[in-house]
Amino acid sequence: MKYTSIDRIQQGEKLGKHIFASDGRVLLNDGVPLTVALISKLRRMGVNAVYLKDDRLSDVTLEEVVSDKTKNEAIVTLSQSFQFIQSGKDFDTQEVGNTARKLIDEILQNKDVLVNLTDIRTNDNELFVHSVNVCIISIIVAIQLGLDPKRIQELAIGALMHDLGKVLPEQQEAEGLNSKLEDEEFQGDHTWKGFNYLRKIKDISTLSAHVALTHHEHVDGTGFPRKLKGEDIHFLSKIVAVANHYDNLITATNGSAALLPHEACERIMGLSNIYFDHNVVWKFLRSIAFYPTGSQVKLTTGETGVVVAQHRGLPQRPIVRTFTIDHHTYGGDDFEVKEVDLAKETTIFIESILM
């Protein structure tokens, strides 16, 4: 499969992965030929890029740290939980806890796989995909840092619920604010809203609730809502801060264009010890695929191809399958296929991603 911008899809190309709604329904099936009408429908749904089938890549396995099935189940659970909360009902904390444990267990089984977060997002599921992605990245970093299982569970629940304050009904927002927070400075802040809701729930730990409150704090004190610095920020929140910022960077939000994964990683690298804890950033960068499998790339040799495999510990040096037109064949439309392992070809680099 190859990952392709919606603007570069050719009519008749086949979808490489299901596209799901936030309630788990399949909106478009894997393998469906994309017509002009379907491409227009994808645009209206807010889809910016999709996986497409490519016969030249039929042997390539898209390794995932969490399976599509498990991720989709987590998105459905989160969507249902937020719907309950919005309607003034209690959400199933046990179901959210089970979802967190399932994500942790699967990540532990695949902890040597680099994270490929090239999700197919729609207007319908964007918040839930974001929350699950932040949870996945946070768990991976926590495992790399050697945190104990209880802390990782609290981290995972906090990460899943970190943006809860964005969807709370106005009445619940008002009820959740204590006298300390009645100042207008805090009234519109989703971090306080989420924290005040979660801290009242018996089965949600205070640490998980604090993740919702402090995931926008920066180690230099320029974050919000409390402008905490350094060691005043809980370590779990430092992890979620990096995961949240990365997923926001690779998503088109509030009129800002999405960065490519390697650009987002470089941005976070530059913010180490400014916004983000250095140790967290280091473990994060060793866990993320800078050039996700399926990415179409151009090499410094002038060759173009598709990333087909990753190297754990060398996320900037994947294996690329190149396709060069052989003009010596009859018709000139055959391709010379070659695999370039950038971990071995140390003088060759990825020049750009072709979206």
Closest CA to 45 of 120, 116, 117: 120
pLDDT exceeds cutoff 80 at 13 = yes
Average pLDDT over residues 197-212: 95
Distance (Å, whole) CA 102 – CA 85: 22
Distance (Å, whole) CA 36 – CA 194: 42
b/e per residue, 248-277, with b = 16+ CB within 10 A? bbbbeeeeeebbbbbebbeebeebbeebbb
Domains in the chain and their CATH numbers?
A: 2-57 (3.90.105.10), 68-285 (1.10.3210.10), 296-353 (no CATH)
The DSSP secondary structure of 103-126, one letter per residue, reads HHHHHHHTTTSPB-------TTTH
Contact 156, 103 (CB under 8 A): yes
Distance (Å, whole) CA 267 – CA 210: 26
Contact 145, 196 (CB under 8 A): no
Size of the chain in residues: 355
Report field, pTM of the whole predicted structure over 0.85: yes
Could you identify the residue written with the tokens 């971090």? Answer: 191
pLDDT exceeds cutoff 60 at 186 = no
pLDDT at 112: 87
Ranges of beta strands (E only) in 224-295 are none
pLDDT exceeds cutoff 60 at 184 = no
pLDDT at 21: 85
Least confident of 4-8, 119-123, 176-180, 201-205: 176-180
Cα angle vertex 265, ends 76, 307, to 5°?
A: 80
Least confident of 59-73, 132-146, 227-241, 267-281: 59-73
pLDDT at 326: 59
Contact 164, 130 (CB under 8 A): no
Residue type for position 59:
D
Report pLDDT digits (tens) over 290-320. 999 999 999 999 999 999 999 988 999 999 9
pLDDT exceeds cutoff 70 at 187 = no
Distance (Å, whole) CA 121 – CA 155: 24
pLDDT at 170: 64
pLDDT exceeds cutoff 70 at 329 = no
Cα angle vertex 126, ends 122, 127, to 5°?
A: 160
Report pLDDT digits (tens) over 77-118. 999 999 999 988 999 999 999 999 999 999 999 988 998 877
181 vs 168, higher pLDDT: 168
pLDDT exceeds cutoff 90 at 220 = yes
pLDDT at 173: 45
Residue type for position 1:
M
pLDDT at 317: 96
Which residues make Cβ contacts (< 8 Å) with residue 87, sequence separation at least 6?
none
pLDDT at 182: 40
Report pLDDT digits (tens) over 112-162. 899 887 777 888 889 999 999 999 999 999 999 999 999 999 999 999 999
Partner residues linked to 304 by β-bridges: 298
β-bridge pairing 26-28 and 49-52 = unpaired
Instruction: Please count the other Cβ atoms lying within 10 Å of the Cβ belonging to residue 278.
Output: 11
- How distant is the alpha carbon of residue 80 from its chain centre? 20
**20: which 2 tokens?**
């799901």
